[in-house]
């Protein structure tokens, strides 16, 4: 597919497309061609202030809009996403590299589902209940800043913006400057959906400017942030100055325990896929495969065979299953981790830090698997965010659980066993926000979020909507 240069020279504030107060721009790079594919405004702190004022002015109107009317607006947004799905998927594939056919299903399908789920979820929320002589009411938290990443750009936007709007909050969105064009396409759709002016605002730019201005702004009531744990610490530090609510979805180093009674061919193939999806650029990727030492050689062969089915190449070409990484910096980061794994004594069984054959252009990395990885190795502890799998052998079940919990993260995980009840017992002992049982599918209505330094708060489903509500008690005579 040919690139079309996309120039977005305005921000969406107060129901209008307006010029930034600054005159600088950010270039958006096509991850496959390494060429400039678009430009967006490099927003300023003054732009943030304008957006916050617009959101604050819209809050009394939107928060008092009947829930069924808010639901109708959100359904219109879902309809707009569905109608423009091919265009949006193509943009996201160019921005960050996911193969186009998958981008249609995941990068656009999931956010469409999220917006479309809001009318039903609004009906599930108990906005009022009586407890003794008190009337307990749930009200929107206020003005919400949504700061989102590049790896599932529109999905992460929808996971924040849709429930915030459904709850009656007003929103300022700051998308990742690395993959922002999809956010502008969403804003085009929202502009036609009938929301009050200022209910939704878009300010693009650098995290160090726009993100920090939102986190510190005294009229922002809540920050919902997805990104690295390092950046999340910074947002929390800034938000604490005004004691605003913060929801965090941060990094992960998710364990995948394969018990010795599991269907090994099925478990290993699925586990490799859960690590390599989106070129490993997934916070919940199952990047640590924890396996019985007695079956290690067998599992290595299965993993090597599974990795061979992940074919790097142009994400618009059918049959290519592994697109590029998002940027040159990310590619070098991943390659440095591969070199670190070798230096620390992990055994490379496939892949490596060399450029994939025939792919000199584009930010491609070989699908890579290490075995005989120990928990004290860097590649077992730090989030790599690339197609790199670490296989860690265990001695017995207690050892497997110990290894699974031996990181600062706690976002996701998996357990495989021939006995589903046995798998559930092990899963209950893993300190993560989600655990797949025998490859159980991702559920966009189930709560998503982490333990430990993977963050706090939950997104998706009714749990995600409730994050944007305050609780008030009215004491009755």
| Positions marked active-site | 249, 283
CA distance 325 to 37: 16
Confirm if 207 and 150 have CB atoms less than 8 A apart: no
DSSP 137-153: EEEE--EEEEE--SSSH
- Considering only the C-alpha atoms of the chain, give the largest distance between any 2 of them, rounded to a whole number of Å: 77
Tokens standing for residue 426: 């092990």
Angle between helices 109-124 and 67-83 (to 10 degrees): 170
Query: Among 303, 278, 288, which residue's Cα sits nearest to residue 413?
Result: 288
β-pairing, 16-18 vs 436-437, is unpaired
Phi, psi of 198 (to 5 degrees): 95, -10
In sequence order, what are the beta bridge partners of 224? 146, 247
Query: Among 452, 450, 451, 447, which residue's Cα sits nearest to residue 466?
Result: 447
95-122 burial: b if 16+ Cβ within 10 Å, else e? bbbbbbbbbbebbbbbbbbbbbbbbebb
Tokens standing for residue 469: 């509500």
Tokens standing for residue 463: 């749990």
CA distance 180 to 164: 20
DSSP 430-473: S-SS--EETTPPP-TTS-B--SGGGEES-BSHHHHHHTTEEEEE
Query: Among 130, 118, 125, which residue's Cα sits nearest to residue 162?
Result: 118
Other Cβ atoms less than 10 A from the Cβ of 468: the count is 27
309-326 burial: b if 16+ Cβ within 10 Å, else e? ebebbbbbeeebbbbbbb
CA distance 125 to 468: 12
In sequence order, what are the beta bridge partners of 67? none
């Amino acid at each position: 597919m040919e690139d079309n240069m996309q120039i977005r020279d305005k921000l969406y504030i107060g129901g209008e497309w307006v010029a930034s107060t600054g005159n600088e721009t950010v270039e958006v790079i096509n991850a496959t061609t390494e060429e400039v594919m678009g430009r967006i405004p490099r927003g300023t702190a003054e732009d943030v202030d304008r957006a916050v004022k617009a959101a604050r002015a819209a809050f009394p109107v939107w928060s008092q809009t009947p829930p069924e009317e808010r639901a109708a607006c959100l359904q219109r947004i879902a309809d707009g996403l569905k109608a423009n799905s091919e265009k949006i998927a193509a943009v996201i594939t160019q921005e960050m590299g996911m193969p186009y056919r998958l981008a249609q299903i995941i990068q656009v399908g999931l956010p469409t589902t999220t917006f479309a789920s809001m009318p039903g979820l609004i009906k599930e929320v108990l906005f009022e209940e009586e407890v003794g002589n008190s009337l307990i009411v749930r009200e929107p938290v206020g003005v919400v800043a949504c700061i989102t990443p590049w790896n599932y750009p529109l999905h992460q936007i929808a996971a924040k913006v849709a429930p915030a709007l459904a709850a009656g909050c007003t929103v300022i969105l700051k998308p990742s400057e690395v993959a922002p064009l999809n956010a502008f396409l969403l804003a085009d759709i929202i502009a036609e959906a009938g929301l009050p002016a200022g209910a939704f605002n878009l300010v693009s730019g650098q995290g160090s400017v726009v993100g920090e201005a939102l986190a510190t702004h005294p009229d922002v009531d809540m920050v919902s942030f997805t990104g690295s744990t390092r950046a999340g610490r910074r947002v929390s530090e800034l938000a604490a100055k005004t004691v605003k609510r913060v929801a965090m979805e941060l990094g992960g180093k998710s364990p995948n325990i394969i018990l010795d009674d599991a269907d090994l061919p099925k478990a290993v193939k699925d586990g490799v896929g859960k690590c390599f999806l989106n070129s490993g650029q997934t916070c919940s990727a199952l990047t640590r495969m924890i396996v019985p030492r007695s079956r290690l050689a067998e599992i290595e062969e299965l993993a090597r065979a599974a990795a061979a089915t992940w074919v790097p190449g142009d994400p618009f070409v059918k049959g290519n299953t592994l697109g590029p990484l998002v940027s040159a910096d990310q590619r070098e980061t991943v390659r440095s981790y591969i070199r670190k794994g070798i230096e620390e004594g992990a055994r490379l069984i496939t892949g490596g830090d060399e450029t994939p054959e025939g792919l000199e252009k584009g930010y491609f990395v070989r699908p890579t698997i290490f075995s005989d990885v120990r928990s004290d190795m860097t590649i077992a502890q730090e989030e790599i965010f690339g197609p790199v799998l670490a296989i860690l052998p265990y001695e017995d079940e207690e050892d497997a659980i110990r290894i699974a919990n031996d990181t600062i993260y706690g976002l996701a995980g998996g357990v495989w066993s021939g006995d589903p009840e046995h798998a559930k017992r092990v899963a209950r002992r893993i300190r993560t926000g989600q655990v797949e049982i025998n490859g159980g599918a991702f559920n966009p209505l189930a709560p998503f979020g982490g333990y430990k330094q993977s963050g706090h708060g939950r997104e998706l489903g009714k749990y995600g909507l409730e994050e944007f509500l305050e609780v008030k008690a009215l004491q009755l005579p």
